[in-house]
Amino acid sequence: MGRTGAVELAHMTSPEAAAALARAEVVLIPVGATEQHGPHLTLETDTAIAHRLAVLLARRLYPRAIVVPPVPFGISHHHLGFAGTLTLAPETFIAIVLDLVRSLKHHGIRRFFIIDGHAGNQGALEVLMTKLRFELGVQAAYLFYFTLASDVIEQGVCSPRWGHACEVETSIALALEPGLVRREALASGELRPHGMPFVDPWQAHHLSVPQAFEEITANGALGDARQASEEFGQAIVERVIERAQAFLEAFLRQPV
């Protein structure tokens, strides 16, 4: 007999998976990255955060949601200047997620919710959403947790340029997976000056130009991770889960 309340496909036997998939109305797919996060966060940070958020959300929706194993590689070319970073081409990333969805569609699933832990995946995810809906014929949506809890983040962030290995991401790591954090190495970002106008994405008026992360910060971090706290991270997590659950309750009422 399967474990009551199990939501992770990887932890099930095949007969348990058959029963869970028969009940499930949506599959959650965490996607992340294996990339540098400054001197104080491990390379798995984006993947681990996405995975933990997916599990928390699936537990709220049990037995209507199942979590598949996370995709641990993302689009991280801009971090390759720092040791340990691995990257996929955007086309590869899209192909991997498409194949996962095809497999799950074979098992009867028609709704998919992707939980993204890495900002660099967002462009590919926008393309992927179109492919899933209009080429593969399934219902799909995705979240990037920074945008879903932007109000909470704005209240607690203390740096003008944040978003990677900063007080926000480090706080979320402390709340969800403290082992990701090297507390003795917490550091602020060693930011470099901009060489061109209108390339700072933290400014209201900017354009888009690809930049390697070592051109932005000498130590791979933004913000000030020394200001991170578990309490701030928990407030962000709670807002993300609350809003994602509200969305999914409505999403599951939509016709397939």
CATH label of the domain that carries residue 84: 3.40.50.10310
Q: What is the mean pLDDT of the chain?
A: 95
70 belongs to a structural domain: yes
Average pLDDT estimate for 40-69: 98
Average pLDDT estimate for 142-152: 95
134 belongs to a structural domain: yes
CA angle 127–211–177, rounded 5-degree value: 70
Could you list the residue range(s) of the whole structural domain that residue 242 is in?
9-196+204-251
2 belongs to a structural domain: no
| Residue 3 confidence class, pLDDT cut points 50, 70, 90 | low
Average pLDDT estimate for 155-184: 96
Identify whether 201 is preceded by a cis peptide bond (ω within 30 of 0). no
23 belongs to a structural domain: yes
27 belongs to a structural domain: yes
Structural domains in the chain (count): 1
Average pLDDT estimate for 212-235: 97
1 belongs to a structural domain: no
Encoded tokens for 44: 């798995």
Long-range (24+ apart) CB contacts under 8 A made by 242-247 are 243/148, 243/149, 244/53, 244/57, 244/113, 244/115, 244/143, 244/148, 245/57, 245/60, 245/61, 247/141, 247/143
Cα dihedral sign, 199-200-203-204 = positive
151 belongs to a structural domain: yes
Per cent of the chain over pLDDT 70 is: 98
3 belongs to a structural domain: no
* 74 pLDDT higher than 80: yes
Cα dihedral sign, 94-97-101-103 = positive
Specify the range with the lowest mean pLDDT, choosing from 96-105, 109-118, 130-139, 203-212.
203-212
Q: Smallest Cα–Cα separation from 98: which of 31, 143, 44?
A: 31
This prediction's pTM: 0.95
Q: What is the CA radius of gyration of the chain?
A: 18
Average pLDDT estimate for 33-62: 98
* 178 pLDDT higher than 90: yes
